[in-house]
Copies of this chain bind each other. A is one copy, B any other.
Amino acid sequence: MPSYTANTRDMQFVLHEVLKVSEAGIPGYEEMERDFTEAVLDAAAKVSSEVLAPLNAVGDSEGCVLENGVVHTPKGFKAAFEAMKEGGWTALDCDPDFGGQGMPYVLNCAVGEMFVSANMAFNMYQGLTHGAYSAIHAHGTAEQKAKYLPKMVSCDWTGTMNLTEPHCGTDLGMMRTKAEPQDDGSYKITGQKIFISAGDHDMAENIIHLVLAKAPGGGEGTKGISLFIVPKFLVNDDGSLGARNAVSVGKIEEKMGIHGNSTCVMNYDGATGWLLGDLHKGMRAMFTMMNEARLGVGLQGYAVAEAAYQNAVIYAKDRLQGRAVTGIANPTGPADPLIVHPDIRRSLMDQKSFLEGARAFTFWGAHLIDRAHKAGDAEAEGLISLMTPVIKGFLTDKGFETAVLAQQVYGGHGYIEEWGMSQFARDARITMIYEGANGVQALDLVGRKLAQDGGKHVMAFFEMIKAECKAHDGDERMKPFTDALKAASKQLQAAGMFFMQNGMKNPNAALSGSYDFMHLMGHVCLGLMWTRMAQAAYAALDGGATDKAFYEGKIATGRYYMARQLPACAMHLARIESGADPVMSLAAEQF
């Protein structure tokens, strides 16, 4: 069975030496000193290794079961959920007015990375609740907040997000679920929603469903959509639970992975719901927290891969197979460990250099969200809006790829379920799909975000890279980083220029390259992160840091990324510059 040990050392490095959170001066960051975050991270690491990770394989093999309308979670989940609640882990960055601890989102992300690495399917129950919490927090009336939030912060009640219907996922304008206004101000909700994560289960007293539906008078398409609060059990004014609402589980989907999470078909048969936010402004309300939700999925993508990587490293050190080509490395054993072989190294370095870059990128994104939300920083808001599809799309594609690489290290043992590596690959796969499939992320990036506010944010990003490179001018040690980053950034700019020159007369010319652009930009972002991390590592070494192995390893890993991952940028640019013709030239019948 795989194990998991949180890499708190690297998290501390990113928080304090790269992002320098304790000097950020953001409201709510007052406590973010190194000792404090270390204590929080260590405690979360302990829960992750000891409580959550041991249940990961159980969740996968048992899955969730629907019996007589009731969903049962895998053995041990309920007790673990109680432990998470008692530890206060569900409330970390929530509003203190409703029982939360008010900590920065970036710290919640660090802790969340561990929980996802340890047990992604389990963590989704809380994750979805957090999303619903955020929606009610942002759009609810004072009464709604008072009624629902304290119980959701504590996870006594959990939450769900209901968007997809059988015939529409991305294109929500075709939605059929109806909301009929009642005399008492409530609505009757009728329709079927599918792919509802944590849709039902046995770990909470109540479940607060947030449901998109069409109320009369809103017009065609997405304009007619409103957002509703539909509790599983109606909540009385004194907070006690009332009657069972007319919402039921149609079935639990059989999925490729995340079996520990109940993905439900939900049937709303005239269920009672209350409008959340403004009438016919449901899409806007649902998407207020989209940056966070999508960042959360990007985090899942690399966090699952992190767990896979850790186990691949253990296996590569343990498994004796073959001899090093440069001479026997383990003379007392029958063979050398896998890790001596260059191609195994190549695989592990691909994994490690991506994962550490992804962590820095995600924490940086979370830090931008804190800047935007807590400090009202509009520049940060614009930047994270631009980065969100990249964090989601790039990190989940590469996260899945990384999990598959880790699985491959095990040879045949990676393919059998006993070793747990298959689960990491199967679990990671969903992150490329949900919360907007990655093709939709690419469309959002190229079709919307690039030109947002007159292209201001992407310009700011390029300026940021320029400034970063300039800051290291003449520093020979940093040259492998800044040279590669400059080249990659130029390629990204060339791609943007190609879109500008061709996209106006033929939108297909831009959109045919959207997916490659997302990856090209992802590499540039990780290149930027590695440049900053290398700088921080050199600073630590220059300052006489004692754990030299960590910092030297950091620099070597960064050099690997620059030398062996950034060359993908030229490939993506070439694909983009080939334009729409190769992509669009076949008639549908010719496929």
Q: Which residues of A contact B (CB under 8 A)?
A: 164, 167-171, 173-174, 194-195, 253-257, 263, 313, 316-317, 320-322, 325-326, 334-335, 337, 339, 341-349, 352, 400, 404, 407-408, 411-412, 414-418, 422, 425-426, 429-430, 432-434, 437-439, 442-443, 447, 506-508, 511-512, 514-515, 549-550, 552-553, 556-557, 559-560, 563-564, 567-568, 570-571, 574-575, 578, 580, 582-591
Contacts and interface: CB of A to CB of B under 8 A. Distances in A.
Copies of this chain, complex-wide, total 2
Contacts of A570: 567, 570-571, 574
A556 B512 contact: no
A231 to B, nearest CB: 25
A411 B433 contact: yes
A347 B439 contact: yes
Nearest to A337: B588
Given A343-B443, A552-B590, 6 more contacts: A256-B425, A317-B588, A339-B591, A343-B442, A343-B512, A412-B434
Contacts of A439: 341, 343-344, 347, 408
Nearest to A443: B343
A508 to B, nearest CB: 5
Nearest to A416: B253
B417 A256 contact: yes
A562 to B, nearest CB: 8
Given A254-B418, A570-B571, A584-B342, A170 B411 contact: yes
A397 to B, nearest CB: 10
A515 B348 CA distance: 13
Contact of A553 (B168, B321, B411, B586): B586
A438 to B, nearest CB: 7
B564 A575 contact: yes
B415 A433 contact: yes
A62 to B, nearest CB: 13
A508 B342 contact: yes
Nearest to A563: B578
Contacts of A588: 317, 337, 339
A401 to B, nearest CB: 9
B583 A346 contact: yes
Given A346-B515, A425-B429, A426-B256, A586 B564 contact: no
A586 B321 contact: no
In this complex, which of A173, A578, A586, A587 has the most chain B Cβ atoms within 10 angstroms of its Cβ?
Answer: A586
B564 A582 contact: yes
Given A171-B321, A591-B339, A422 B564 contact: no
Given A339-B591, A508-B326, A590-B553, A345 B584 contact: yes
B553 A255 contact: no
A345 B443 CA distance: 13
Nearest to A319: B167
A345 B578 CA distance: 14
Contacts of A429: 404, 407, 415, 425
